Each structure stands twice: as structure tokens, then as C-alpha cells.
Chain A
């Protein structure tokens, strides 16, 4: 099953490679990983999307907690949470496709952030499924490139990951 893990870790050189190294050394899956510093510059917050059996997810959580630089780990799946991913997608937009692409972007609440004579670059935010749905909805052959950030997640309401 797919799980989304939120990790608070010391903002130190090498901390990221320890997390990544752990996943490869123990043959865990990483579907996506995002990381950046938090409002407290000594801490980074990471979101990892992974999948595996309950036993594997339990081991992943425990092994992450064991890393000296990891402060806290939560499995967002355990309760209500929100997740968002951002995608930049560059498409060929010429002739009648141009109008059609604009319409699709609107439907998905995307924004066109760069326009050339022959291309649009669209910024799209949402759950990973929504981004997938957009890709499915448009004609594959017009896609020039896509860049996705991977999911970031946060618990709903009072569920807060802090020191």
C-alpha cells in the first residue's frame, strides 16, 4: 500500500544521504521525495512517498527513527492529511490545439506561466492523482517535458509535526 511519510530532521550536511542510503541499502521503495528547510533553519522537513506491506512500512518508520539526525517521523496515512504536488508541464500548443490546451489547463485549475509561439508551460498543483489525470487527459504527443516536485504532505487541523 502507498504511504506518505513526513520526516523532521536536522538540517545538516549528510542527513539527506543517510535517509536515501537507508532506502537503497534495505531495498525499500521511494516513489517520491521532497525536502527543504523549515521556518526553523536548523530543521528540514522531508516527505517521502513509498509503498510496501504494513510490516515493511513499520520497519521503514523504525529505521528512519533510528537515524541519529532524524527528529521525528509520522506516517500521514494514519489520519486525515492533505497532500499536494506541483508539476510544470511544457506542451506543444499550435493552431487549434492552443485553444484546447488553454481550456484543459482551466478545467484543472492550472496556470499558463510561459507562452511562446509554439509552446505553453503550465503550472499545476494538486494531488498526485490529479496531475496524473491531467497527463491522461491531454494528447500525449503534445507533451514536451514534465517536471514534478513529488508530493508534500501535512496533517489536517491539530495534527502537527513539530519538535
Chain B
């Protein structure tokens, strides 16, 4: 039987086991919306802005093992989606975005709501398709899902002209897909794995640096097993948080621009580094030449060869899926009984414990002002460290990363690569739909929340009782911090004047809003927000936080990992520079 292209699309999405489609209708996708109306298998979530549809689908994906799906109309719908697509692309998130397009004869005619979606998104997708022939529609959807989720994941755009959705054809969904020009590697080269293990067996100062690839690759169990069996220190990037349990003694915290002192010092002074699904980002290692000025052997495990040797030369590249490669490494270690030399390791730990003892995340508590760090710490306590946390971009994002030690992967959802303000709220909605029983909180700023605040309406419609934790410092705080440090406190356009009353806004959208101005109220109000009485409600907590608080440690542009700006309590300390072969005696 012949069915329409729109029906073929819907059937294909059903075949893929899609649960939710996040979208917004318009002329070019009316046929598709009609087909959606006539089916029950998946649910459509109507957002209030296409950017939010893509963020929600992205977070749905980040917080589950499924591919998120967004649907937008042509022209402005498509361009509104672009920021969301680029966000997912930078963080390697699997997603399929379907955009409507004007009818094939109208393409290129500057038709109403025509935009070259394939052209616009080309640099920020893993791949994209323009489907001109209805007979290729089902196979294209199959390919799109396969490409999005395999290898290094990423967003795939499928642009479908209106006439293709209207034409009729037989529906056959392919059972499998094989693309001759696209064959992602999974297993690492055994010879390389052996070299990596041999390096570890000679290491004096080993270090495991784990990134978003371990989260995406579901390799948290393998990471933990390897780190535990070797007894070595471990750090996570912003994207890797949760891949290794945040409360464990072997965890040194996040590294990078706002990483802990011990995580960054260890990164600079380790002699064997195992990079696991992490890409030596500039916010992590800062200046490559300074990072490499301290000699070290680097093993780099990544499924994408182009991530390897991009910013730093490595000694042992291993192309493969982290889960498989780590499993093979663990098996080989067990088989050969090789270990990290214990005497050296003990010394290395002494050095690390010394670094750690400075407690670089210490901040000055206050009874007068609400410290943003304190709010995050209380949130951790009250949620038992179990909540799924989304965030926006700015200081609050860094405090969330620093003071909420994530227990498990896929618990922390943020825009690291693109740094997209406006991500947090729609992401929380997507995560809540993927995890209906989880507590979901969005840590945000008064600046960021206003970039997609209209999604409070979506949250109302779909009963997603997320908790919005606004760390409201009345400033574009991250910008203000840079202006304080590097632009002589000239706070150009970083003050958020004319702020709305967020409590009223929350109420206007049908939610609960609470303003908190007193540090003593932080804990009780958080308890109330997470109490059974408000379990089913979205609660917007407007915390008026200390306006002048800064994020520390901080690595300034051009500085090295061991050249951090330290928090006030560390500035006057006489910290001994790192010394190779230092005798630690009984110091610790």
C-alpha cells in the first residue's frame, strides 16, 4: 500500500523506537504534523522556540542512551534550530533533526520561508541530507539514526521538501544499514594497547584524564575499574564529570581553566597520561607548548582519529571505542599482572595529597550574602547527590561543576563546547521526560535563564516538575569576572538591569516561585522545593547571590596549568614548586 512521505517519516521514527519528538509546526511540515496527529506511538512535545526543541532533544539524548529527535519547519524554524544543532555538534551528542523544506520545484527560487538548511548546517552537523526522492526517505532516516549514534556521535539533519511529504510511495524500512564510505572503528589496535600498558608499568607519576567520550561511550564502569585496579589518580573534564565517581578519593576533581589545584598540577607534572575520550581542549590544557614543556608520555584513546594529535602530539594513539579499548587494557593487565611501580606511586600520591590539602575550592562563607557555592553544596546534600543537573553558561555553570560531585555519568548536562546560554531550561525538560522518576534541577543565572525562559510554558504543559535554581547575581557574572580581572573593572554592559520579578514570572506560567535573599533561608527553601508537597511542581528559586563572587581557581589565557590564579586563602602560601624525585619522608 502506498502512503505519504509524511506517513513514511512517522513510521520510520516509530521503527526507530522514538518516544518523543520535540518540535514546532509550520507550513512546510503541516503534512508531517497531520501524520503525527493520526498516530499514537510517540509523543510530540510542543516547545515555545525551535532552539529549545533542539536543546530538549539533545538533553533527552545526553541523559539516556537514545537518540533525541527534533522537528522544525523551513526557513525561520530551521534557522532557530541552528544554535541547538551547533551545541550538540560541539559536544558530540547523537541527535536527528528533521527540518521542513519548500517543495522541490521551489528550491532555489527564494521561495517563501526558504533557506538552504543543508548549506547553513553543513559546518555544524556530523552529516546532513536533503531528501528529494520519496523512495529514499525511509532509508535516509535509517542512515541518519545510524550515523548520529555510531562512531563519534553527532547531530544529523534531514531536510525534507514539502512535496516529498505529500507524494505517495511504498514503505519499507531497511533492517540494517551499511555505508561503504563510513565504517567507524570499535576495537583498538592490540599492539597499541600493549604499548599503553607497558607505559603504565613504567610510570612514576601516572594520571588518567577522562572526557565526554567516556560518558557518551558508556564506559564509566571500565574507567572506574581501570583506575581502581591501578590505584592511580583520575580527573574528569567538564564534559566527563560523572564518568568517574566524584566523591572517590582517587578523583582529583575537574581539571582545566576552572579545575582544582591538584587536578591541574597533576596534569602538568604527570609522566604518563592516559587520555580517555577527551580532546585536549584549550579550556583544559591551555597552551600546548607549556603543557608539553614538562616531559610526559601520552596515550590517547579516541574513536575519532582527528581528535588525536590535533592539539598535542601523542606517543601512543589508540583509535577505538573507549569501552572496548579499556576492556582490552584491563584484560591485558590482568593477564600479564603488570602494575604501576608502587614506590613511585606512593610518592606521587604524597605530592598529590599535598596539593589537595590546600583545598582550592574553599570559599569564604557569609551570613550576610548568599554564596553561590553554598547553594550548590546544599543542593547536593538535599538531593542526596542524585539529581540530574542541567546548567546554563557562566559562573553558575562552573560552580555547579565544582561543588556538585557527580556520582554517575549522564547526570550532568551542560553545553561545554559551544557554551550556549539558554541551554539549561529546555535541557531540564528533555532530561525529565527521559527520566520521569528522577529529580531534575537546572542551575542557571539571571542572564541565561532569560534566553529561553518561555520554556516555562512547555514545562507546564508537559508536567515536568524541574527545579530551577537561579544563582541571581544581577550580573553576566562570567563577563563581569573577566572585566574585573582584565579590563580594569570597567563593567561594560554586564550589569543585568531591569530584571523581571522571577517569582511573578514563575507564577504567571503556573509554577511556584520563591525568592531567597538570606543565607539562613537557603537550606529550608531548598528542602521545601524538593519536598513531597512540591514534587509535582516546577519550582523557580531566585537566589540573590553575592554579586562580587568569582570563580577560582582560574587559568588566564596564555598561562599554563601550573600558573593558576588561586583563591584568596592560597595566595600567601609558600607552595613549594614541583620537584622531580623529591623525598616526601613522612610528610603526609
List the interface of chain A (C-beta within 8 A of B): 9-10, 13-14, 17-18, 21, 25, 55, 58-59, 62-63, 65-66, 68-71, 163
Contact of B309 with A by CB under 8 A: yes
In the complex, how many angstroms separate the beta carbon of B141 from the nearest chain A beta carbon?
15
The B interface is mostly helix, strand or loop, or mixed, namely: mixed
| Inter-chain contact A55/B181, CB cutoff 8 Å | no
| Inter-chain contact A68/B309, CB cutoff 8 Å | no
| Inter-chain contact A66/B306, CB cutoff 8 Å | yes
- Across the interface, name the chain B residue whose C-beta is closest to A72: B181
- Across the interface, name the chain B residue whose C-beta is closest to A62: B306
| Inter-chain contact B118/A14, CB cutoff 8 Å | yes
| Inter-chain contact B123/A25, CB cutoff 8 Å | yes
- Across the interface, name the chain A residue whose C-beta is closest to B305: A62
| Inter-chain contact A9/B309, CB cutoff 8 Å | no
| Inter-chain contact B181/A14, CB cutoff 8 Å | no
We find that the number of chain B residues with CB closer than 8 angstroms to chain A is 18
| Inter-chain contact A68/B179, CB cutoff 8 Å | yes
| Inter-chain contact B122/A17, CB cutoff 8 Å | yes
Q: How far is the CA of A58 from the CA of B306 in the complex (A)?
A: 9
- Across the interface, name the chain B residue whose C-beta is closest to A22: B123
| Inter-chain contact B181/A69, CB cutoff 8 Å | yes
Q: Write 21 A-B pairs (CB below 8 A) sorted by A numbering.
A: A9-B181, A10-B181, A17-B122, A18-B122, A21-B122, A21-B123, A55-B309, A55-B313, A59-B310, A62-B306, A65-B305, A65-B306, A66-B304, A66-B306, A68-B127, A68-B147, A68-B179, A68-B181, A68-B182, A69-B181, A163-B180
| Inter-chain contact B119/A17, CB cutoff 8 Å | yes
B-side contacts of A68, CB under 8 Å: 126-127, 147, 179, 181-182
Contact of B287 with A by CB under 8 A: no
List the interface of chain B (C-beta within 8 A of A): 118-119, 122-123, 126-127, 130, 147, 179-182, 304-306, 309-310, 313
Q: How far is the CA of A70 from the CA of B310 in the complex (A)?
A: 20
Q: How far is the CA of A66 from the CA of B308 in the complex (A)?
A: 13
Which of A62, A65, A68 is the most central at the interface, judged by chain B CB atoms within 10 Å of its CB?
A: A68
A-side contacts of B126, CB under 8 Å: 68
| Inter-chain contact A59/B306, CB cutoff 8 Å | yes
Q: How far is the CA of A20 from the CA of B325 in the complex (A)?
A: 34
B-side contacts of A58, CB under 8 Å: 309
Q: How far is the CA of A62 from the CA of B317 in the complex (A)?
A: 13
A-side contacts of B123, CB under 8 Å: 21, 25
Nearest first, the 5 A-B pairs at minimum CB distance are A62-B306, A71-B181, A68-B127, A25-B123, A62-B305
Q: How far is the CA of A163 from the CA of B309 in the complex (A)?
A: 27
Q: How far is the CA of A73 from the CA of B61 in the complex (A)?
A: 32
B-side contacts of A69, CB under 8 Å: 181
In the complex, how many angstroms separate the beta carbon of B94 from the nearest chain A beta carbon?
14
Which of A18, A58, A63, A66 is the most central at the interface, judged by chain B CB atoms within 10 Å of its CB?
A: A66
**Other 17 A-B pairs with CB < 8 A, given A59-B310, A68-B181:** A9-B181, A10-B181, A14-B118, A17-B119, A21-B122, A25-B123, A55-B309, A55-B313, A63-B306, A65-B306, A66-B304, A68-B126, A68-B179, A68-B182, A69-B181, A71-B180, A163-B180
A-side contacts of B119, CB under 8 Å: 17
Q: How far is the CA of A71 from the CA of B180 in the complex (A)?
A: 7
- Across the interface, name the chain B residue whose C-beta is closest to A163: B180
Which of B181, B182, B304, B306 is the most central at the interface, judged by chain A CB atoms within 10 Å of its CB?
A: B181
A-side contacts of B179, CB under 8 Å: 68
Q: How far is the CA of A21 from the CA of B130 in the complex (A)?
A: 17
In the complex, how many angstroms separate the beta carbon of A27 from the nearest chain B beta carbon?
12
- Across the interface, name the chain B residue whose C-beta is closest to A13: B130
Q: How far is the CA of A60 from the CA of B130 in the complex (A)?
A: 26
Q: How far is the CA of A71 from the CA of B183 in the complex (A)?
A: 10
Q: How far is the CA of A163 from the CA of B179 in the complex (A)?
A: 12
In the complex, how many angstroms separate the beta carbon of B237 from the nearest chain A beta carbon?
21
A-side contacts of B306, CB under 8 Å: 59, 62-63, 65-66
A-side contacts of B147, CB under 8 Å: 68
In the complex, how many angstroms separate the beta carbon of A162 from the nearest chain B beta carbon?
12
Q: How far is the CA of A68 from the CA of B119 in the complex (A)?
A: 16
Q: How far is the CA of A18 from the CA of B179 in the complex (A)?
A: 17
Known: A25-B123, A70-B181, A71-B181. A14 touches B310 (CB 8 A): no
In the complex, how many angstroms separate the beta carbon of B476 from the nearest chain A beta carbon?
29
B-side contacts of A55, CB under 8 Å: 309, 313
Q: How far is the CA of A111 from the CA of B162 in the complex (A)?
A: 53
- Across the interface, name the chain A residue whose C-beta is closest to B310: A59
Q: How far is the CA of A63 from the CA of B152 in the complex (A)?
A: 13
B-side contacts of A66, CB under 8 Å: 304-306
Q: How far is the CA of A58 from the CA of B312 in the complex (A)?
A: 13
In the complex, how many angstroms separate the beta carbon of B562 from the nearest chain A beta carbon?
25
Q: How far is the CA of A21 from the CA of B125 in the complex (A)?
A: 12
Q: How far is the CA of A65 from the CA of B130 in the complex (A)?
A: 21
B-side contacts of A18, CB under 8 Å: 122
In the complex, how many angstroms separate the beta carbon of A86 from the nearest chain B beta carbon?
29
In the complex, how many angstroms separate the beta carbon of B198 from the nearest chain A beta carbon?
25
A-side contacts of B181, CB under 8 Å: 9-10, 68-71
In the complex, how many angstroms separate the beta carbon of A141 from the nearest chain B beta carbon?
43
Q: How far is the CA of A108 from the CA of B552 in the complex (A)?
A: 69
- Across the interface, name the chain A residue whose C-beta is closest to B143: A68
Q: How far is the CA of A163 from the CA of B182 in the complex (A)?
A: 12
In the complex, how many angstroms separate the beta carbon of B253 from the nearest chain A beta carbon?
31
In the complex, how many angstroms separate the beta carbon of A47 from the nearest chain B beta carbon?
18
A-side contacts of B180, CB under 8 Å: 71, 163
In the complex, how many angstroms separate the beta carbon of B80 from the nearest chain A beta carbon?
22
In the complex, how many angstroms separate the beta carbon of B288 from the nearest chain A beta carbon?
11
Q: How far is the CA of A4 from the CA of B540 in the complex (A)?
A: 59
Which of A18, A55, A62, A65 is the most central at the interface, judged by chain B CB atoms within 10 Å of its CB?
A: A62
